[in-house]
Structure 1
Amino acid sequence: MDCIPNISVILPVFNGETFLEEAIESCLKQTWKNFELIIVDDCSSDNSLKIATYYANFDQRIKIISNSTNKKLPASLNIGHHSATGKYLTWTSDDNILKGNMLEVLLDNMIKNKADLVFSDYDIIEEDGRYRRTQELGPVSGLLFGNTIGASFLYKKKVFENLSGFDEDLYTLEDYDFWLRASIKFKLHHIRESLYLYRIHRNNLTSIVDEDPEIKRIFGNKHKIVYEKISNILGWSESTIRFLYMSRGFESWDMEFFKNNFSTIKNDLGKFQARVNANDKGKIFQKMDMLLRHVILNNPLDKKYIAWLLFRRPGILFDPHYSKKTSLKILKKYVDYN
């Protein structure tokens, strides 16, 4: 094995003693051995640091950084990344698990495809480890409507350096912001294989946001900041930022606004699509049609808006990937208004 590891795995932890041992062991059992594991303890008050130290005592690939104060996830990620010596970087969470071949497959695909960032599908597991389902990711152009990169990834160190790391003001959204900025600057490659186990439990961010209106409001404001960053790079209109904000459910759907600004929004989405360089680039307007199907089915729209949508975006009904049964529901909703 080379003296200098070519992969650095950053594992930030804050009071993660429940699953930390499993997370660390999944890193140490990788088929790819030439890596370092940087555990950043964010001033935990439980046994997290003790657990990390135990493993570091018998595996020299482990490096421990202990924050003197609680700095939150994005700052801990930056601290770990700046300490990394590897050419390639990834990070994981204290409650998740790397499959045994994850690093090997990610690195192999990165080199073969001359990519700057690779990502894979992953399995979602219950709190007790039971399999729930496989999360198939992509396309990259769909990032505007949600995180289509996910939790299993590897990127060159230059990606982190060029983007100036994770935005420490965007705690809870630091990864989404990072992926969006990376997607319009670097070559991405999607691996259609599950290489990671993502654990769902009561302390997951999604559960917390859905249950607390104030946290959801703060979360929504952070999304606006993320979209404004992309807008500043691509020269978007304010109407496109509002459209994306509505599309994520942070504002009630305004059909009159969408109709009046449709051409501008469509043009701005096209600018993003043109900048994406990926094997799984996808079609951003297909993602928009999926959103509009949802809007029709879940909002009381006047028949004139439904007719306008179906005329301007016939893919809402006729894309072969969509359920015919659901398409008939949309048609019935239009007919029922007449």
Structure 2
Amino acid sequence: MKGFAMSTVNIYKEFTDQKVTENVKKVSVIIPNYNYSRFLNERIDSIVHQTYPVHELIILDDCSTDDSRMFIAEKIKTIKDIPIRTVFNETNSGLVFSQWQKGLKEVTGDYFWIAEADDSCDPHFLETLMKPFDDEKVVLSYCDAARIDDDNNVIRENCQDLYNMFDSRHWDKAFVTEGSEEIKKYLSVLNTILNVSGVVWKNIPGLHDIFEEAKNFKVAGDWYIYTKVLEKGSLAFSPKCLNYYRKHTDSVTSSVHCDIEYKEIVSIEEMVAQKYELDMETYRWQRIRRSYMDANVSPEVKKKKIAWVIPYPGKGSGGHRTIIQNVNALIRHGYECDIYSEDDHRTTDEQAAQKIDEFYETCAAFVYVGANPRAEYELCFVTGWQTLEMVRKIPAKQYGYFIQDYEPWFFPMGNEYLIIEDSYRRGYSPITIGRWLANKMETEFHTPAQYFDFCADTKIYHPIEEIEKEDAVCYVWQPEKPRRGSELAFRALKILKAVRPQTKIYLYGSAVDAPVPFEAEKLGIISVQECNELYNKCAAGLCMSASNPSRIPFEMMAAGLPVVELYRENNLFDLPEEGVLLAESSPESIAAALLEVLDNKEMASSMRAFGPQFMKDLPLEKGFAQFIRSVDHLVLHTEYEQPKAEQIYTRAPYKAADEFRAQALDILYTDEVSSTDAAPAVPSLPRRALRKLRRIAGRGVRMIRQRIGKQ
């Protein structure tokens, strides 16, 4: 048919005597039948009257109880120009794929078409679908289908309503595509080849075994077969509705059937994910696909759900990025995750999901604003002090604490400090990033904790030999986060710039436009790829972490950049002394440590070589695997023992020499301020006070600060 102006399909009006005579390939046609005698006449006629020659017709009957066999015997007597063979089972096989396999054994053609007995088609079906096989890589060719009822009434004119789930124009026009790409993008989510009657196959080696494996499926065997066949070649599609797929009115779907289908869907999703690296958009589509079945599937069959309650997403937040990365890791592992974001009373669910995708990475979790629960969960994660009240509203069998920082230190001693500190005693099961926090939970709060190591995406962070190296220092500047010690870092960098004016300073990591008391280039928030380029061209990196190690020093090391950090208890369990220099928490000692890295070429060279080698054993995937094992331990009660968290940095803190301290103080508290914004960010004192400070420099930094406070 050329269209569906009428609501009933009548193939007989389209019959023609014209036949394709050039470039004709041998196409065998298989009709598997079981109790469809009512439709056999039209089915056989739709094949016999194809404009493309049929090499042979193989009719199978799976021990029908109607008059199918009698009809077949009479019908084939009327067909003169096509070789016909019949294969009748003495007992019912009980499985459609057994019939496909039996038909395949009978095929002598180079191509075949499984034309199910209750379906029908346009006479130009074969002519259209055989053309793409001129490309030798094509192993399957199929077309769009109209859905019809038992009386040939059109239910739907095409299958675009199913394809449109993907919000894609992919099926709007004809295409030939690599089979693996079709699997990764579409067949990993849904069986987009909706009806076998609409497919022509190349008779390639291995099909018999694939059909045999499909017998393990009761519902999704055809989907399994298509994914396995398309591993071997390309797929062709025609948007013409040349196949008429019959939907029977007596079809019944039970909850048992839904459970079986759900399990088989998950099985194929997992099979594809093991072979191909799927993007998170695909995992999101898989979740959407499964959600259509949720109401009809037994709870024990569904994937296990985990809730995450997170602070409101902010651009450039490394903590959020780590959360989203681990959410996605759980989804890839087989869990379903929902995110509940702190409510700002302005953002919708869709906007929050968009922010997460834009700010961090595409996330396959469903995202909701506020704490209105959508399900009961196996596990719900607290992820920060802001989420402590919200998490109580989310029903879960147990609660975990995803700890990235020792958050009491975000506040002065008082209500907030004490409340957050007390939250570690509330029975939430901690999983910490890094070993120091796990040690702190166990030693100070007597709470057994799991941990996962600080890792880096070594596909992004790695040495780039062709980048020209600069005499430069990069500092992750986040003045909106007090724990990043931006004022302390600025004082250190002012000293560095005064002592070594040729050294360029790059500031990155924040969109804040604030005065800088020295010459520097402000890069703002940059992409991870730009971060790697920055680390590769700099001679040293400065990161200030006062409440847990940041992931940034590990990413710097992976890129081959020597790192200066603070010598504090939180940095002693995770940062290696061969790749990081920990300085006393004073401007002069931080500046002196940076100068040591810049001037001590042997030391810098050793640190540059050590970093990538150390991080080679700490790719993101390792951290994800550790985290997943910890979650499995909580949810599935699997055994998981980790090495005890112990201090690995054994050197003393790097301290500035007394002479340098005096010089540094002279720089810090002089009236002469060098600033790209012409505004000092540190206080200046009279020269008389500076001379006095120099006289007492030997008494220690603590006394100096006391004297400054009295001025």
Residue 155 of structure 1: aligned partner:
201
Residue 62 of structure 2: aligned partner:
42
Q: Give, in angstroms, the shift of residue 62 of structure 1.
A: 2.3
Equivalent residues of 2:210, 2:228 under 8 A apart: no
| CA distance in structure 2 between the partners assigned to 1:89 and 1:160 by the alignment | 15
Equivalent residues of 1:113, 1:189 under 8 A apart: no
What residue identity is the alignment partner of 2:47? C
Where 2:229 maps in the other structure, the secondary structure is helix
Residue 102 of structure 2: aligned partner:
79
- Is residue 2:192 matched to residue 1:192? no
Aligned pair in 2 of structure 1 residues 142, 243: CA closer, same or farther (>3 Å)?
closer
Residue 107 of structure 1: aligned partner:
130
Residue 309 of structure 1: aligned partner:
353
Q: Give, in angstroms, the shift of residue 19 of structure 1.
A: 1.5
Q: How does 1:31-180 map to 2 (within 5 A)?
A: 31-59=51-79, 60-71=82-93, 72-112=95-135, 114-131=137-154, 132-136=156-160, 140=182, 141-151=185-195, 152-158=198-204, 161=207, 164-166=210-212, 167-180=214-227
Q: Give, in angstroms, the shift of residue 106 of structure 1.
A: 0.6
Where 1:177 maps in the other structure, the secondary structure is helix
Q: Give, in angstroms, the shift of residue 81 of structure 1.
A: 0.8
Higher relative contact order (CA 8 A, sep 6+): 1
| CA distance in structure 2 between the partners assigned to 1:146 and 1:247 by the alignment | 7
Q: Give, in angstroms, the shift of residue 148 of structure 1.
A: 0.9
| CA distance in structure 1 between the partners assigned to 2:357 and 2:100 by the alignment | 42
Q: Cα deviations across residues 216-254 of structure 1 (Å, max 9, x unaligned)? A: 112222333333443454489xxx999947742353794
Residue 222 of structure 1: aligned partner:
264
Identity of aligned residues (%): 21
Q: How does 1:270-309 map to 2 (within 5 A)?
A: 302=340, 304=342, 306=349, 308-309=352-353
| CA distance in structure 2 between the partners assigned to 1:54 and 1:102 by the alignment | 25
What residue identity is the alignment partner of 1:146? L
Q: Cα deviations across residues 150-207 of structure 1 (Å, max 9, x unaligned)? A: 2211121006637532511213322111112223332112222111111122244xxx
Equivalent residues of 1:97, 1:197 under 8 A apart: yes
| CA distance in structure 1 between the partners assigned to 2:145 and 2:40 by the alignment | 19
Normalised TM-score (structure 2): 0.35
| CA distance in structure 1 between the partners assigned to 2:118 and 2:60 by the alignment | 14
Where 2:200 maps in the other structure, the secondary structure is strand
Residue 27 of structure 1: aligned partner:
47
Normalised TM-score (structure 1): 0.70
Equivalent residues of 1:37, 1:63 under 8 A apart: yes
Equivalent residues of 1:74, 1:170 under 8 A apart: no
Residue 326 of structure 1: aligned partner:
none
Q: Which moved more, 1:84-93 or 1:144-153?
A: 144-153
Where 1:256 maps in the other structure, the secondary structure is strand
Aligned pair in 2 of structure 1 residues 120, 242: CA closer, same or farther (>3 Å)?
closer
What residue identity is the alignment partner of 2:230? S
| CA distance in structure 1 between the partners assigned to 2:134 and 2:333 by the alignment | 34
| CA distance in structure 2 between the partners assigned to 1:22 and 1:304 by the alignment | 61
What residue identity is the alignment partner of 2:50? Q
Where 1:25 maps in the other structure, the secondary structure is helix
- Consecutive unaligned residues in structure 2, runs of 5 or more: 1-20, 164-169, 172-181, 309-322, 344-348, 359-365, 373-711
| CA distance in structure 1 between the partners assigned to 2:38 and 2:242 by the alignment | 22
| CA distance in structure 2 between the partners assigned to 1:241 and 1:75 by the alignment | 32
Where 1:30 maps in the other structure, the secondary structure is coil
| CA distance in structure 2 between the partners assigned to 1:217 and 1:55 by the alignment | 41
* Aligned-pair Cα RMSD in Å: 3.9
| CA distance in structure 1 between the partners assigned to 2:249 and 2:98 by the alignment | 24
Aligned counterpart in structure 2 of residue 262 of structure 1, from 328, 333, 345: 328
| CA distance in structure 2 between the partners assigned to 1:50 and 1:5 by the alignment | 32
- Consecutive unaligned residues in structure 1, runs of 5 or more: 269-291, 315-329
Q: Answer 1 or 2: which has greater helix percent.
A: 1
Aligned pair in 2 of structure 1 residues 15, 6: CA closer, same or farther (>3 Å)?
same
Equivalent residues of 1:224, 1:241 under 8 A apart: no
Residue 401 of structure 2: aligned partner:
none
What residue identity is the alignment partner of 2:328? F
Q: How many aligned residue pairs are there?
A: 283
| CA distance in structure 1 between the partners assigned to 2:186 and 2:91 by the alignment | 37
Equivalent residues of 1:228, 1:241 under 8 A apart: no
Where 2:87 maps in the other structure, the secondary structure is strand
Quick check: which has more Rg, 1 or 2?
2
Aligned counterpart in structure 1 of residue 230 of structure 2, from 183, 190, 209: 183
Q: Which moved more, 1:151-160 or 1:163-172?
A: 163-172
| CA distance in structure 1 between the partners assigned to 2:261 and 2:369 by the alignment | 34
Aligned pair in 2 of structure 1 residues 159, 177: CA closer, same or farther (>3 Å)?
farther
Q: Give, in angstroms, the shift of residue 114 of structure 1.
A: 4.5
What residue identity is the alignment partner of 1:214? V
Equivalent residues of 1:7, 1:88 under 8 A apart: yes
| CA distance in structure 1 between the partners assigned to 2:288 and 2:110 by the alignment | 39
Equivalent residues of 2:48, 2:54 under 8 A apart: no
Aligned pair in 2 of structure 1 residues 103, 44: CA closer, same or farther (>3 Å)?
same
| CA distance in structure 2 between the partners assigned to 1:144 and 1:176 by the alignment | 10
Q: Cα deviations across residues 57-107 of structure 1 (Å, max 9, x unaligned)? A: 232432211112111201001000111111012212221102101111111
